[in-house]
Structure formats: structure tokens, C-alpha cells
Amino acid sequence: MKTIAKMKYFKSYGHGFIGVTLLAMLLTACNGSDNATLTQMEENDQKAVETPANPQEKETVMLKGNDLIDEQPSTVYYEIFVRSFYDSNGDGIGDLRGVIEKLDYLNDGDPSTTDDLGVGGIWLMPIQPSPSYHGYDVTDYRSVNPDYGTVDDLSLLIDEAHQRGIKVIMDLVVNHTSKEHPWFMDSAEGEDSPYRDWYVWAEDQGREPNGTSAASGSNPWHEREGAHYMAGFWEGMPDLNFDNPAVRSEMRGIGQYWLKLGVDGFRLDAAKHIYEDLATDKNEEIEAKNIAWWKEFRNSMNEINPEAYIVGEVWENSVASVAPYLDEAFDSGFNFSLAESVISSVKNERDNNLAFTLERTYKLFNTKSNGEFVDAIFLTNHDQNRVMSQLESNVNHAKMVVSILLTLPGNPFIYYGEEIGMLGAKPDEQIREPLKWYQDGAIKKGQTTWEESIFNHGDGSANVEMQLNDNNSLLTHYRDLISWRNEIPELLNGDIQYYDTGNVQLCSYIRRTQSDEVLVVHNLSGKVQEIKLDAESGSGEHVFAEIIKTNHLKTSLDENILVIHPFSTVIIK
């Protein structure tokens, strides 16, 4: 195994100062112990970690000095809003059999083909019965929304996905139910209800019905039959009472039920809101209760499938707020701050020391998780304005954010429609519009029509059919970058090390496994950039000298001089 030296530090004081400032901002919410942990980790040697015998296991390898190679074996996931995806029965609503019909679009299971996206996992947004179009207010946790099909249809989807090498994770919404859930309807009948204590009633607990929810920013108390129940997001989603052991037991059983059915894991909605302090969103005691519950949940899931993938929605820009959830609770927490950083950097066409900050973030995550975390990276999701709208329909910028996302460590998540550049901005319905399969707005087999498209309509709107065979399309760019990722072990599984080119219009970093490394360089600008790579440009004795991937034919590397063309990416070995 090659010995790898400590990372190269910045060539310019100004560049380094900006990076340190950004890191300080990122870690603003760290408490004293978190800062001490990070500092000690950077300054002190750590003991070597034995390499696992199973090559699929996450590998953390201590090398020369303080340099830690912390591999993150990864899978590209595709987030599906089933209602908007593909309609198998002609009712205008997407369904599970529609997802089955389009699995080959996502991954046909044949690595030699190039006409599928090549993803390795799908995330199904809520598929359980609900009175709402979105499904985040559940009325039956052990069933499937009849609009989408049946439990048997889900079982078939899981089987078909697994045959193609696709994992299936599903949204699990346990913070709250629908107000139409039988539990809540019974609970609202009065204090004698056996489900009364399954929810939080102000009068029963001797509390005043006032305060502010961190979830909605408004008073979470709502009146029902002369009493007030807590519903942090809105009155139709009453919060469950996780101080009640029966509630926790039921939710553990629900998770186990879906794992037994074959689901590969969960995306956990509103993970930081299970317990809430209505006076502040920064209560350490409340945070500790949240984390304790998720550890309890994780341990219960391990009884069924220790390999189940659990990713939590902890909507925080502070990495110090996310890190504690990686300690024997979640495998991943969505990296919201990284998403903002990638989009901002590309819009401004200037590197914002993304890799420098990310490298140090991962040191904190590694410490908190004992080396077990895998990052969950993304650009946007179902709660945010679509990335193409944020980028003002600039296709060059859209391709660059994809190039960065798919060459970073962790599990990248792609929101359906991002691969063709769908537009969308709040309200929520308009960022969850039907995926367009056909040109000219044609309503053909499978096209969902449950909602009229406001952003994605007309002859020029983004659609799959128009982009499938266009070598310059955004869809082709996604397929190419995922193919690179699946082909190059360092992109698929490696960690990250900052690499300074001295050019702020280039974003660059090294991706490393225990056996090798590659240099990734992105030209964020509309101009040709020329730089000289260090004679000792890699780690240790490694010299980057050979281009193995580029999406611009004129990109060249000759005697350490790299010429990289506008809005392009190069991978160098």
C-alpha cells in the first residue's frame, strides 16, 4: 500500500485565508467540545486502522503523518415522486408499476449499455395512504396508497430493481401522522381514548398552547374539541408523542415491517423535529433526545437488516449540528450546506474553496461516526426550487454543477427531472410537476397529468425524448458523469483532498482510495484556462500525468501544462 504524505497547503495567503474563514463560518454552531475534537484530530497522530477483509466495507486507512484516507463506498440515488413519474394504467397518476416500466431508463442492469442513467438506487417519496397529493401525512403506515398500487406491486418493484442492481429506499415519516389517521381521530375523542397520549395535547400536559415551532416558524398548537394538539408543520399533521413508549415501539415495528418486505433502507423525514423545544431550535437536551430515539430505531432495524441504509433529513447548514446524528443513528445526513456551496460556486464561476471545507468537514464526520459515515450529497430536492431555475436556465452552469456533484465523495442524490433540466419554483406543487417523457407536450403512454405544468410545458420544455439521443444534452451529460463514476474506483469510493491550482476559476481536488488517486479539475468559466501542475502534484511520489476522462476533446496535458476548455471537467491519473 502506497504511503501518502500530508496534503499540500495553499500557495497563496489570500486563498488560504478565505478557506479558513469559510470553515469557521461552517462550524459556527460547534460547541466547545466539537471544536476541540476537530482540532485535536488535525494536530495529533491517530492509530492505524486495520483494513477490512471485505472490500465492500468502508475502509479507513491511517497513513504517514496525520493523513487519513477515509473511503466512502457510494451509490448514485434517484429521488422519485411516484405521482409525477410514470403512469401505467392511464389514470394520469404515476404509480409503482409505472416505476417498474421505467427501471431500464434508470439502470437496465447491463454495464455495457450507455442509454440508461446508471443509478444504483432509488428513493421513493411517501407511498403510503394519505389525503394529500404529497403523502407526508400518513393514514396507514403498513399499506400503499391505492393511487400508486398495492403492497404486492411494491414487492414486484423491489424484485425488479434488485435484478438490475438497484437498491430501493423509501420515505418514512414518523414525526407526525395525518389528522385523518385513525390513531389521531380516536385520540381527539377525549382523555379516555387509548390513543390520547400518542399525541401531544397541551391541556393534558399542563402546558400553555403557545410558542414557536422550529418546523414552521409559527405557533404549533391547534384547537380540536376544546383542546389543543401540537402540529409543528401544519394543523393537518399532528405530532406524535415519542415520550410514549408505545409510540416508539410502533414506529420500530413499522420500520421492521418494510425491511422484511425487502426495502433496502429509509429516508427519514423531519429527523431533527421528533422532540421540539418551542422556545429555541438549539436546545442540547432536545437534540440529545432526538439522537437517542434514532439510535433506538437504528438498533431495531439492525435486527432485520444490519446493512439497511438510513439517511436522515437534518436540515442544517452547520456541520456540527449534523455530525452527532452520524454516531450510531444514521449512515448519512443530507449535506444542505454543500448543495448551496456547489450552486453558488458555479453561478459565480469562482471556486469557493469547496474541497478545502469539505475535507475538514469529513474529518469531523469521521470522528463523530467512528469512520462509518457516508455523505449524502445533492443539488436540490422536493422542498427546494429546482436547480435549473436557480441557475436561470444556463445549461453550461447546469452541466458544471452535475460534474461537481458526481465527482465528489458520498452518495449523490438526483431529484427526478434534474437530469433533463426541469424548471420549478415554489409553491411545492410546482417543484413536483410531472416528468415530461415526450416532445411537444404530447400526452402519450405513461405521461402523468395529475397536475397542469406551470413551468414545464410547451414545445421547448425539457423532456426525455428530445434528449435521449442528443450527445450534447443535459441527460447525456448525467449519463456520462455517472458512467465515469462507476468506472473509476477513486471517484466511486475515494475520499477527498484539497488541491490548489492557484486559479480561482478552477475547482480542483484529489480523490483517493487506499491504492490510488486521481486529480479532478473543473473549469467554471467561459474561457480557456492554462495552469502548470506541480512536479510533485499528487500525494507522496505520485505525479498526475495522464488524462483519463474529459468532456472536451481539446483539453490537453503536456509536460505538466494543463489546458482546460470552458465549462469542462478533466480527470487526471
Query: 572 with 518: CB under 8 angstroms?
Result: yes
Q: Which of helix, strand or coil describes residue 18?
A: helix
Q: Strand 569-572 vs strand 547-550: parallel, antiparallel, or unpaired?
A: antiparallel
Task: Of 300, 292, 305, 361, give the one whose Cα is nearest residue 333.
Answer: 361
Catalytic residue, candidates 87, 313, 316, 500: 313
Q: Strand 411-415 vs strand 77-80: parallel, antiparallel, or unpaired?
A: parallel
Residue type, 487: E
Q: d(Cα 349, Cα 567) in Å, to the nearest integer?
A: 9
DSSP letters for 366-407: HHHHTT----EEES--TTS--HHHHTTT-HHHHHHHHHHHTT
480 assigned to active site: no
How would you write 433-488 as a 3-class SS string? Answer: CCCCCCHHHCCCCCCCCCCCCCCCCCCCCCCHHHHHCCCCCHHHHHHHHHHHHHHC
Residue matched to cell numbers 495522464: 546
Query: 507 with 354: CB under 8 angstroms?
Result: yes
Catalytic residue, candidates 269, 331, 375, 500: 269
Give long-range contacts, CB 8 A cutoff, 24+ apart: 104-113: 104/164, 105/464, 106/78, 106/164, 106/166, 107/164, 107/165, 107/166, 108/164, 109/163, 109/164, 109/165, 111/486
Residue type, 294: W
Give, as one character, the DSSP assignment of residue 276.
Answer: -
Query: 172 with 255: CB under 8 angstroms?
Result: yes
Helix (H) or strand (E) holding 70, with range, is strand 68-70
Which cell numbers hold the place of 288? 440529545
269 assigned to active site: yes
Helix (H) or strand (E) holding 346, with range, is helix 336-348
Give, as one character, the DSSP assignment of residue 316.
Answer: -
Which cell numbers hold the place of 295? 439510535
Residue matched to cell numbers 433526545: 289
Query: Nearest 5°: CA angle at 388, between 385 and 390?
Result: 50
Residues 6+ apart with CB under 8 A from 23: 356, 357, 360
Task: Of 442, 339, 346, 351, give the one whose Cα is nearest residue 386.
Answer: 339
Q: Strand 495-498 vs strand 506-512: parallel, antiparallel, or unpaired?
A: antiparallel
350: left (phi over 0), alpha (psi -120 to 50) or beta: beta
Residues serving a catalytic function are 269, 313
